[in-house]
Amino acid sequence: MILSLASLSKTFGTTKAVDDVSLTIPEGEFLTIVGPSGSGKSTLVRLLAGLETPSGGDLFLREARITDTPANKRPTAMVFQSLALFDHRSVGQNIEFAMKMKGVPALARRARAMELLQLVRLPAEYYSRSVTQCSGGERQRVALARAFASDPEILFFDEPLSAIDYRLRKTLEVELKELHQRTGRTFVYITHSLEEAMVMSDRIAIMQDGRIIQTGTPAQIYGAPANRFVASFMGEVNILTVENKGDGQAAFVEIGQPIAKPGGAYAMVRPEALAQGAGDISAQLTVTQRLMLGSRTQVHLSSETGAILISEIPGTAPDLLIGSTHSFSFATQDIAWMET
Ligand code: ADP
Ligand code: MG
């Protein structure tokens, strides 16, 4: 374990921004902390980076207690959403800034900056270019190179891609994942996008109201969300309520279909698991909307009780016209059960 959080807390007045968080982070892991705005992600990562002092709990780097160690004495670096680049300086000056502060000689700084440009896949001639002449993606890479300048053991990222448009973000997600693989460093990444977390991470921690409510691999979070909050955070999923009828009998409230002995009060069924035709649990559903998603079609379906379910079907689904009624079903093995 490179980093251990033991009951870490941070209170601002009456707000518990980080509330009793315990977590261990193995060396070389890409861990992403995901949560909605205001859930305490930035405060947590600032505590880890030493930019904020905890109100309670402890932090360990390997075996050493670093709870009170200032940021500049920790072998860590941080990349912010704003990137915080110096706009009036060149790419090289930006990358070399911390080295210069530490008194590293000019030649050694330049050699290191060249290595770092290569690491983040920027051409050597960018060294003397002004950062104002760089595109959004290039600025991102300059910020990464600068973060790597001190050869940190742990890199913290606070939503560095949130302000970037969709296509570039997708490219940079893959680049970050590759950078993680190439360097073997520990990455702790913050985002409000579970989709982004799924693409890059070895492990995901879900944060809600200052607490970590679930940790797991992307597959574990996707397949078995801990509760409705996590499930609904994953985008468009069907969350069905189960009504107990006694004697081991129950029914889905939304579609009236009976089931035997459910594992929880709520069932999540992914749009791709709700398919046309017969299956374990089936219902007659009427198409209320259809949206082309490129390789698949999303249809919104109304049940007899008026509940709306979402299905995603490969191809163009030409028969699923608005207003038409069809038999849809899902398999019991595709249900993820939740108590709350
Ligand atoms: P996130 O990054 O997930 O959006 P933050 O960590 O920024 O969440 O904020 C968590 C909570 O702590 C919010 O309610 C926020 O208003 C509060 N908070 C954060 N920083 C401060 C501060 N410096 N002073 C007072 N309240 C703060
Ligand atoms: Mg934040």
CATH code, domain with 178: 3.40.50.300
Q: Are residues 174 and 29 in the same domain?
A: yes
Residue where a domain stops, chosen among 202, 232, 262: 232
Q: Are residues 38 and 24 in the same domain?
A: yes
Q: Are residues 180 and 65 in the same domain?
A: yes
Q: What is the pLDDT of residue 125?
A: 95
- Tell which one of 37, 43, 192, 193 to mutate to probe ligand 1, the residue whose CB is within 8 A of the most ligand atoms: 43
Q: Are residues 75 and 220 in the same domain?
A: yes
Is 53 close to ligand 1, i.e. is its CB under 6 Å away?
Answer: no
Please determine, for residue 252, whether its predicted confidence score (pLDDT) is greater than 80. Answer: yes
What number of other Cβ atoms are within 10 A of residue 123's Cβ? 10
Q: How does residue 204 score in pLDDT terms, banded at 50, 70 and 90? A: very high
Identify the weakest region by mean pLDDT among 8-12, 221-225, 273-277, 318-322: 221-225
Q: Are residues 181 and 257 in the same domain?
A: no
Please determine, for residue 272, whether its predicted confidence score (pLDDT) is greater than 90. Answer: yes
**Between these two residues, 186 and 234, which has the higher pLDDT value?**
186
Q: How does residue 177 score in pLDDT terms, banded at 50, 70 and 90? A: very high
Q: What is the pLDDT of residue 275?
A: 96
**Between these two residues, 172 and 49, which has the higher pLDDT value?**
49
Question: What are the pLDDT digits (tens) for 283-313?
Answer: 999 999 999 998 999 999 999 999 999 999 9
CA–CA dist 218, 44 (Å, integer) = 21
CA–CA dist 207, 199 (Å, integer) = 18
Please determine, for residue 215, whether its predicted confidence score (pLDDT) is greater than 80. Answer: yes
Domain of residue 10, residue span: 3-232
Identify the weakest region by mean pLDDT among 54-58, 68-72, 159-163, 201-205: 159-163
CA–CA dist 81, 224 (Å, integer) = 30
Is 40 close to ligand 1, i.e. is its CB under 6 Å away?
Answer: yes
High-pLDDT (> 70) share of the chain, %: 100
Residue where a domain stops, chosen among 182, 210, 232: 232
Q: Are residues 214 and 281 in the same domain?
A: no
Q: How does residue 233 score in pLDDT terms, banded at 50, 70 and 90? A: confident
Rg (CA), the chain: 24
Is 41 close to ligand 1, i.e. is its CB under 6 Å away?
Answer: yes
Please determine, for residue 235, whether its predicted confidence score (pLDDT) is greater than 80. Answer: no
Q: Give the residue-averaged pLDDT of 260-269.
A: 90
Q: Are residues 29 and 41 in the same domain?
A: yes
Q: Are residues 186 and 250 in the same domain?
A: no
Whole-structure pTM value: 0.87
Please determine, for residue 234, whether its predicted confidence score (pLDDT) is greater than 90. Answer: no
Q: What is the pLDDT of residue 136?
A: 84
Q: How does residue 172 score in pLDDT terms, banded at 50, 70 and 90? A: confident
Q: What is the pLDDT of residue 81?
A: 76
Please determine, for residue 80, whether its predicted confidence score (pLDDT) is greater than 90. Answer: no
Please determine, for residue 61, whether its predicted confidence score (pLDDT) is greater than 90. Answer: yes
Name residues with Cβ closer than 5 Å to ligand 2, which is an ion. 42
Residue where a domain stops, chosen among 200, 232, 264: 232
Q: What is the CATH number of the domain that holds 302?
A: 2.40.50.100
Q: Classify the phi-psi angles of 99: left when phi > 0, otherwise alpha if psi is within -120 to 50, otherwise beta.
A: alpha
Please determine, for residue 82, whether its predicted confidence score (pLDDT) is greater than 80. Answer: no
Question: What are the pLDDT digits (tens) for 133-169?
Answer: 998 888 888 998 999 998 899 999 999 888 788 888 8
Question: Which ligand is the nearest neighbour of the Cα of 15?
Answer: 1
Is 105 close to ligand 1, i.e. is its CB under 6 Å away?
Answer: no
Nearest residue to 23 via CA among 32, 13, 11: 32
Q: How does residue 339 score in pLDDT terms, banded at 50, 70 and 90? A: confident
Q: Are residues 214 and 244 in the same domain?
A: no
Q: Give the residue-averaged pLDDT of 78-94.
A: 87
Q: Are residues 211 and 273 in the same domain?
A: no
Count: domains in the chain: 2
Q: What is the pLDDT of residue 316?
A: 94
Average pLDDT, the chain: 93
Q: Are residues 221 and 310 in the same domain?
A: no
Q: Are residues 213 and 318 in the same domain?
A: no
Burial, 41: exposed, middle or buried (Cβ in 10 Å; 0-12, 13-18, 19+)?
Answer: buried
Task: Please say whether the beta carbons of 225 and 338 come within 8 A.
Answer: yes
CA–CA dist 207, 222 (Å, integer) = 15
Is 86 close to ligand 1, i.e. is its CB under 6 Å away?
Answer: no
- Tell which one of 15, 32, 51, 81 to mutate to probe ligand 1, the residue whose CB is within 8 A of the most ligand atoms: 15
Is 206 close to ligand 1, i.e. is its CB under 6 Å away?
Answer: no
Q: Whose CA is nearest to atom 25 of ligand 1?
A: 12
Q: HEC string of the chain? A: CCEEEEEEEEEECCEEEEEEEEEEECCCCEEEEECCCCCCHHHHHHHHHCCCCCCEEEEEECCEECCCCCHHHCCEEEEECCCCCCCCCEHHHHHHHHHHHCCCCHHHHHHHHHHHHHHCCCCHHHHHCEHHHCCHHHHHHHHHHHHHCCCCCEEEEECCCCCCCHHHHHHHHHHHHHHHHHHCCEEEEEECCHHHHHHHCCEEEEEECCEEEEEECHHHHHHCCCCHHHHHHCCCCEEEEEEEEECCEEEECCCCCEEECCCCCEEEECHHHCEECCCCEEEEEEEEEEEECCCEEEEEEECCCCCEEEEEEECCCCCCCCCCEEEEEECHHHCEEECC
Q: What is the pLDDT of residue 296?
A: 95
Question: Which ligand is the nearest neighbour of the Cα of 55?
Answer: 1
Question: What are the pLDDT digits (tens) for 19-55?
Answer: 999 999 999 999 999 999 999 999 999 999 999 999 9
